[in-house]
Amino acid sequence: MTSLKNPTPIATVFGGSGFLGRYVTQRLARAGWRVRVAVRRPNEALFVRTYGVVGQVEPVQANVRDEESTRRAIEGADAVINCVGILVETGKQLFDAVQGEGAARVARIAREEGVGRLVQISAIGADAESDSDYARSKAAGEAAVAEAFPGAVILRPSIMFGTDDDFFNRFGAMARLSPVLPLVGAKTRFQPVYVDDVAAAAVKAATEEVAPGIYELGGPEVESFHGLMQRMLRLIERRRILVSLPFRVARFQGAMLDLVQRWSFGLFTNTLLTSDQVRLLARDNVVAPDARGFEALGIVPTAMEAVLEDYLYAYRPHGQFDAITASARNLREG
């Protein structure tokens, strides 16, 4: 067991106010750790203070692209968890700068500052030979972390779901407004993983003896993109037409939207569909057969059916009152 520097251990969580980072921060706080939530805009992350007792969880300013602020956030920490990642490039927030060079910077400084544990959040599909900039930058980050901090644990989750996810929520919102849901890569397979299970893995790797190296994290079910949308539509009780977009059409749309972003001088951010996302959607996003995963960490992953209805009900025709409305209708018809 790595000795701790502080009577009350300190963890720095880069991106600790984001989707995954919030769950990681809450778990660390419940385990008695002091948590520094390292974010670019701490004033927008003040809500994390409520995750612990007074003074236990504090947002601090840090940017993984910046040497000095990254070092300040890491100084004196017993463990570091890097949850920073982007899906769309904007301004100086580029894949290589954030997910490649940024991850390398965090790992190098963590080693220099004598940090005991380092956990890097990557993604299934990280591949130095990929035609996707996102996947290549994730692979570059993994390689840099492994070189600078050989004892690091690298976690590769599949697409994550949970209350604030940007997957099921996005398509649920679309289904509320549109009779048609266009799907890029309808046959592509995913292995959705509950965000809190990934957080549990990250905290375990940061606080217990876990063998270093890469772990791929997927839920207990593998489904195609089309199958996942059918599941969502059943839960929100809506009938919608699922249309599979040919990749050549999707590539054209992504390229046009990318051009609009570049020509808008920052006024428009392409969060709809990028060319890089189209390339990612052409490949399955599932745990490799020979990969270490949840079982090696002693964690049983949560099934989608145990969680999805808890937040997708909001997209039903009558939201939280859907069951009451149905009962009233049945009484009238009876």
pLDDT digits (tens, 9 = 90+) for 278-331: 999 999 999 999 999 999 999 999 999 999 999 999 999 986 655 555 544 554
| Regions of the chain where pLDDT drops below 70 | 1-3, 319-334
Amino acid residing at 136: R
Q: Give the pLDDT confidence score for residue 97 in this predicted structure.
A: 98
Predicted confidence at residue 328, as pLDDT, reads 45
Which residues does 170 contact at the CB level (< 8 Å), separation at least 6?
A: none
Report how far residue 157's alpha carbon sits from residue 53's, in angstroms, rounded to the nearest whole number.
30
Domain ranges of the chain: 10-165+191-221+285-302
The C-alpha atoms of residue 300 and residue 286 are separated, in whole angstroms, by 17
Closest by CA to 155, choosing from 142, 166, 136, is 142
Which residues have a Cβ under 8 Å from the Cβ of 155 and sit 6 or more positions away? 119, 120, 121, 122, 198, 201, 202, 205, 214, 215, 217
Comparing CA positions, the residue from 110, 188, 99 lying closest to residue 152 is 110
**pLDDT score for 331:** 47
Class for domain 10-165+191-221+285-302, per CATH? Answer: alpha beta
Query: For residues 185 and 281, is the Cβ–Cβ distance under 8 A?
Result: yes
Taking the C-alpha atoms of residue 92 and residue 99, their distance in angstroms, rounded to an integer, is: 12
Report whether 215 contacts 154 (CB < 8 A). Answer: yes
Q: How far apart are CA 13 and CA 23, in angstroms?
A: 11
pTM of the model: 0.93
The pLDDT, as a whole number, for residue 332 is 53
Q: Are 285 and 160 in contact (CB under 8 A)?
A: no
- Could you give the 3-state DSSP secondary structure of residue 206? helix
> Per residue in 141-184, pLDDT tens?
999 999 999 999 999 999 999 999 999 999 999 999 999 999 99
Count of CB atoms situated within 10 Å of the CB of 70: 24
Burial 118-151 (b: 16+ CB within 10 A, else e): bbbbbbbbbeeebebbbbbbbbbbbbbbbebbee
